[in-house]
Homo-oligomer: A and B are copies of this chain.
Amino acid sequence: MDSTPNIAKIGALLGDNARARMLSSLMHGKALTASELATEAGITAQTATTHLAKLEAGGLLQMRRQGRHKYFALAGEEVATLLESLMGLTTSHEPLRTQTGPRDEQMRQARVCYNHLAGNRGIQLYDHLTGSGKLVDEGGSLLITAKGEHFVNEFGIDLDTLRASRSPLCRSCLDWSERRTHLAGSLGRAFFERFERLRWLKRVDGSRVVKFSARGEREFDSAFTVY
């Protein structure tokens, strides 16, 4: 059994500039979409597609579909280690990689994502709902419980209207800044609209950033405590 073909194959994967750039922009551990990775690598979407397919087939990346998006992340700890030791070999010892995460702290806190709430606040919402048994994850799909229905209606959201729409009610969405899931789907959107109407938050125009008011923050925290 000769294992050298394998090492050459992995090496070849790492040996392309575009792919290398993709991989290192994933070093911070978070997932990125195909087009984001294309931009990172400075190539077109078509080219990115083929690269990403190769990287996934080679076991370096892990993919997760999310609606019309594809989120890619490093396949595991070993891959990250490999990349680190590669970087360590040449650039002995630069400070490890410039922060590629969300440059803007505000954005990391709260932002809009397809009209629902993302960022730390979005995660808080999601964690509260699942942690308190209002939503449950049934084999990948998110379901609302009786308790959840009650809570949502109490909160001023008309579930029946939402159900009339064809789009899925609950849906988890991978958060690119925190690599955690938050609530998407029509329920997610409804929550966001409700927050706006309650004046808990306001969108900063021309950006995806969402700004909470002081009162909004307080009331959000008390409504969605995380256990």
List A residues at the B interface (Cβ < 8 Å).
1, 3-17, 19-21, 23-24, 59, 78-79, 81-83, 85-91, 94, 97-98
Contact = CB atoms under 8 A, between A and B. Distances in A.
A11 B19 CA distance: 10
A32 B66 CA distance: 51
A35 B7 CA distance: 22
A37 to B, nearest CB: 13
Contact of A11 (B4, B15, B79): B15
Contacts of A21: 4, 8
Given A12-B11, A13-B15, A14-B14, A6 B91 contact: yes
A59 B89 CA distance: 8
A62 to B, nearest CB: 14
A10 B87 CA distance: 9
B8 A11 contact: no
Nearest to A75: B89
Contacts of A15: 8-15
Contact of A20 (B4, B20, B87): B4
Nearest to A16: B8
Contact of A14 (B8, B19, B59, B90): B8
A interface, by DSSP: helix, strand, loop or mixed?
helix
A88 B6 CA distance: 10
A194 B76 CA distance: 61
A86 B82 CA distance: 7
A155 to B, nearest CB: 47
Contact of A86 (B11, B87, B94): B11
B1 A94 contact: yes
7 smallest beta-carbon distances between A and B, as pairs: A11-B14, A12-B15, A11-B15, A8-B20, A15-B15, A6-B90, A8-B17
B78 A88 contact: yes
Contacts of A3: 24, 87, 90-91, 94, 97
Contacts of A85: 78, 81-82, 85
A7 B87 contact: yes
